[in-house]
Amino acid sequence: MITVTLVRREMREGRVNMELNDTIRTTFAARDYTGEELPDEILYDILETARFAPSGGNRQGNRVIIVRDQATKDCISDLNIPAAKRYVAQVKAGENPWNAVVPMKVSDAEIEATEPASLLTEPFKTASVVLVFLVDLKVVASVDQYLDRIGIISGASIYPFVWNVLLLARQAGYGGSITTLAVTQEPAMRELLAIPDNFGVCAVVPLGKPVKQLTKLRRLSVGEIATCESFDGAAFEKLQGEN
């Protein structure tokens, strides 16, 4: 209890014992949990700060459902299975899973015969809490809606909030993962959690005390993701002599 009080006080006063830089560099997809509880007091403080995330036009269509009931968490876990089977089958076939541009070559029969990886389904059962993030489609700005490609911009009004939650959970010594596979079963999620029609499910985040805190994440370098002046411009590399 002393730890909870201390973490809460430090979070409120904005001096949790971790630099933002370190937090960003070490917030990984935590899927194995010790079973220790993430208390409501700490979760409240996480949301209290995370809510300062931006949204298009500051419309704030973000909502979150806090799920602690084990039967509901088990149902959410099951709702990941169909999409997880396809995910695993496509990875095995060397494809980028669930991509909307390159057509899938894996057959329905192959998907059906594939076992869903437990890391894609178990975390919802074993997490202390599962957060279901929603956005109000009646207020969200979707400025790419007329483009001839899959929509991206609507998500930009919710994922900063989701990521704030994960960064703050990391600072408080907890962890979880953005997950999206259950969203393929949105009608069932809607029924399970009494979600109104105008809300879209954006992410399902299991949270708990991670068994291990990873510190080295595999990410592309700046030179691999940033170019100067145009897409085909020079890679943006570190200046010679800089640390």
Q: How far is the CB of 101 from ligand FMN (least distance, A)?
A: 16
Q: Which of 64, 88, 120, 132 binds ligand FMN (CB under 6 A)?
A: 120
Q: How far is the CB of 215 from ligand FMN (least distance, A)?
A: 11
Q: How far is the CB of 9 from ligand FMN (least distance, A)?
A: 29
Q: How far is the CB of 183 from ligand FMN (least distance, A)?
A: 8
Kindly indicate which of the ranges 42-50, 127-135, 140-148, 178-186 contains the residues binding ligand FMN, using the contact rule CB under 6 A: 178-186
Q: Tell me: does residue 133 bind ligand FMN (CB under 6 A).
A: no
Q: Tell me: does residue 180 bind ligand FMN (CB under 6 A).
A: yes
5-64 binders of ligand FMN (CB under 6 A): 28-29
Q: Which of 66, 217, 226, 234 binds ligand FMN (CB under 6 A)?
A: 217
* SS3 assignment for the chain: CHHHHHHHHHHHCCCCCCCHHHHHHHCCECCCECCCCCCHHHHHHHHHHHCCCCCHHHCCCEEEEEECCHHHHHHHHHHCHHHHHHHHHHHHCCCCCCCCCCCCCCCHHHHHCCCCCHHHCHHHHHCCEEEEEEEECCCCCCCCCCCCCCCCHHHHHCHHHHHHHHHHHHHCCCEECCCCHHHHHHHHHHHHHCCCCCEEEEEEEEEECECCCCCCCCCCCHHHHCECCCCCCCECCCCCCCC
Kindly indicate which of the ranges 38-46, 56-64, 99-107, 174-182 contains the residues binding ligand FMN, using the contact rule CB under 6 A: 174-182
Q: How far is the CB of 235 from ligand FMN (least distance, A)?
A: 23
Compute CA 201 distance to the chain's CA centroid, rounded to the nearest angstrom.
Answer: 12
Q: Tell me: does residue 91 bind ligand FMN (CB under 6 A).
A: no
53 vs 178, beta carbon nearer ligand FMN:
178
- Distance of alpha carbon 179 from alpha carbon 185, whole angstroms: 13
- 227 pairs with which residues across the strands? 235
Q: How far is the CB of 228 from ligand FMN (least distance, A)?
A: 26
Size of site (CB under 6 A) for ligand FMN: 10
Q: Which of 171, 179, 184, 185 binds ligand FMN (CB under 6 A)?
A: 179
Exposed/middle/buried for 125, CB within 10 Å: 0-12, 13-18, 19+? middle
- Distance of alpha carbon 190 from alpha carbon 172, whole angstroms: 31
Kindly indicate which of the ranges 2-10, 135-143, 173-181, 231-239 contains the residues binding ligand FMN, using the contact rule CB under 6 A: 173-181
Give the residues lining the site for ligand FMN (CB under 6 A): 28-29, 120, 177-181, 217-218
